[in-house]
Amino acid sequence: MATIQMRLGPKETTMSDFRTTQPHMLKESKAYQSQILMGGLSGFESPVGMDRRDRLQALKTGDIGFVHSWDINTSVDGPGTRMTVFMSGCPLRCQYCQNPDTWKMRDGRPVYLEAMIDKVARYKDLFQLTHGGITFSGGESMQQPKFVTRVFRAAKEMGIHTCLDTSGFLGKNYSDRDIEDIDLCLLDVKSGDEETYHKVTGGTLQPTIDFGKRLSKLGSKIWIRFVLVPGLTDSVENVENVARICEQFGNAVEHIDVLPFHQLGRPKWHELRIPYPLEDAKGPGKELKARVIKQFEDHGFVVY
């Protein structure tokens, strides 16, 4: 691995030093700062003086949502120019998670529903010009179903395209009516069998399958996302199982994204003092990625 030199206070350090985090804050380094989600929470009014009980009630009704950050991007989280909102809180603990700082809901900032809807409306003309829209990601946005679905419903009323980036693990939180407001789902099918899925995420696979079937039945489009990690998700059998799962979603699947594993999230694990299970893992080579792409193509899928 190439050595990246950075200046942290009075001494030089390298990316390898992230293995044993020092007392200084890694977020002072350029390598860490480059991974911070853009947008922050500027422009949002946050509830002030609301006690814990009131916040829980407002969260339950969707009057507030706990948000990590947001940004404006193109061709990353759906078609066109997107406003991507990263919600706080996630029940899974994926080994390759790039944003472990979104795991805990309490680490987000409470944002009023009206403030979020106003922010979406502000970009309406841009979305319509670029065929873009609003995307909720995370963390796991399905952990705050009322807030997300109320924003989506308001967006649909404004004629704005909606997209949900999710593992589908919390699909039971969504009614069929809620799903009808999802134009597109970026569905993470993280592995193709229960054993591997649990190893990767700590969760169970079946909820993803069930949610994908519901999306297909109710008319939402699906872009499948599969993270290719050598030695973890790359076996021929696992990829075949993922392909067979995707076949169950029928024509709803527009394409599959094979996403090569990378180490961009590693500094965050160290900054948060979380043991990183893929410390020495490498990204897939060209031959491995080509093999996996061909496996999906052999099942009739368009693959990126």
- Is residue 23 scored above 70 in pLDDT? no
Tell me, what's the pLDDT at 32? 34
Give pLDDT tens digits for 56-105: 888 899 999 999 999 999 878 999 999 999 999 999 999 999 999 999 99
Q: What is the mean pLDDT of residues 164-180?
A: 97
- Summarised one tens digit per residue, pLDDT across range 182-235 is 999 999 999 999 999 999 999 999 999 999 999 999 999 999 999 999 999 999
Identify residue 58 by its one-letter amino acid code. Answer: A
pLDDT value at residue 48:
57
For 86-119, b/e burial (b = at least 16 CB within 10 A) is bbbbbebebbbbbbbbbbebeebbbbbbebbbeb
pLDDT(280) > 70:
yes
Domains of the chain are 66-299 (3.20.20.70)
Taking the model in full, what pTM does it have? 0.84
> Is residue 259 over pLDDT 70?
yes
Instruction: Give the per-residue pLDDT at 8.
Output: 35
User: What is the per-residue pLDDT for 38?
Assistant: 37
